[in-house]
Amino acid sequence: MAAKSGNRTVIYVVVGVLVAVVLIAWAFMMFAGGSKTKVAATYTTAVQGSVVVAGKQAANTVDIYEDFLCPICGRFEANFSGELTQAINDGKVQVRYHPVAILNRATNPAGYSLRAANAGVCAAEAGIFPAYHEKLFTEQPSEGSAGLTDQELIDKANQVGAPATFANCVSSGKYSKAVTAETLRAAKDTSLRAEGSNGFGTPTVTVNGKRADLSDDNWLTSITK
């Protein structure tokens, strides 16, 4: 009975995600995005459950919910990573990255979103999160593909200086349960849903607990200027 209930929850999440993704895709088509200037990260990261906390405590807290398979998340990364990195470096914001797995069934075989999210948290533990985070999006596999294997996830981390402990963190799925729990929590949080949507989608961004309007190019600069 518990397994059946869990399956129904996943189905509800997937249906909601489809609606939310359409709305978010429309929003992203309405703007060109922020600066694409590359900025070197000088901040440190910490892991809280499956959340990657980037930078020190600041006057503004930005929470970013993302799926490493989500193409719109890749576009968000390309548009805003430079501004976000600079704002974190300058201590103007603390960013809490929430790697989630809402597209876990969108690869063949299924499961890449969860494995990539786990690897992303492993990267924070290993001290290579900014570079690895960027790499997973710039070299993002397409939906419907097989995704990346664990070895490919490890190889990409090695390219940005991963320590030897990283491989075991990935292959053991160290943070998989925490990512799954965070995905379900986010899916049930109605405050994270786009207006007019019955489901949760990525990317979803909140600023000081309030959902950000990503169709506004200045959503970040308005709090960091």
Domain segments of the chain as ranges? 2-224
Model confidence at 72: pLDDT above 80: yes
Taken as a whole, the chain contains a residue count of 225
Structure tokens at 69: 């398979």
Model confidence at 56: pLDDT above 60: yes
Model confidence at 17: pLDDT above 60: no
The pLDDT value recorded for residue 47 is 98
CB of 98 within 8 A of CB of 134? no
Domain 2-224 has CATH 3.40.30.10: yes
Model confidence at 7: pLDDT above 80: no
Model confidence at 13: pLDDT above 70: no
Model confidence at 23: pLDDT above 50: no
Mean pLDDT of the chain: 89
The pLDDT value recorded for residue 28 is 47
Lowest-pLDDT range, 28-32, 115-119, 142-146, 218-222?
Answer: 28-32
Give mean pLDDT, residues 89-99.
98
3-state helix/strand/coil string of the chain:
CHHHHHHHHHHHHHHHHHHHHHHHHHHHHCCCCCCCCCCCCCCCEEEECCEEEECCCCCEEEEEEECCCCHHHHHHHHHHHHHHHHHHHCCCEEEEEEECCCCCCCCCCCCHHHHHHHHHHHHHHHCCHHHHHHHHHHCCCCCCCCCCCHHHHHHHHHCCCCCCHHHHHHHCCCCHHHHHHHHHHHHHCHHHCCCCCCCCCCCEEEECCEECCCCCCCCCHHHHC
The pLDDT value recorded for residue 33 is 52
- What is the pTM (predicted TM-score) of this model? 0.85
- C-alpha 81/C-alpha 112 separation (Å) is 23
What is the share, in percent, of the chain residues with pLDDT greater than 90? Answer: 79
Q: Going by DSSP bridges, is the β-strand pair 204-207/93-99 parallel, antiparallel, or unpaired?
A: unpaired
Model confidence at 144: pLDDT above 60: yes
The pLDDT value recorded for residue 135 is 98
Model confidence at 18: pLDDT above 60: no
- C-alpha 115/C-alpha 148 separation (Å) is 9
The pLDDT value recorded for residue 38 is 85
Task: Read off the pLDDT of residues 151-201 as tens digits, 9 standing for 90 and up.
Answer: 999 999 999 999 999 999 999 999 999 999 999 999 999 999 988 788 999
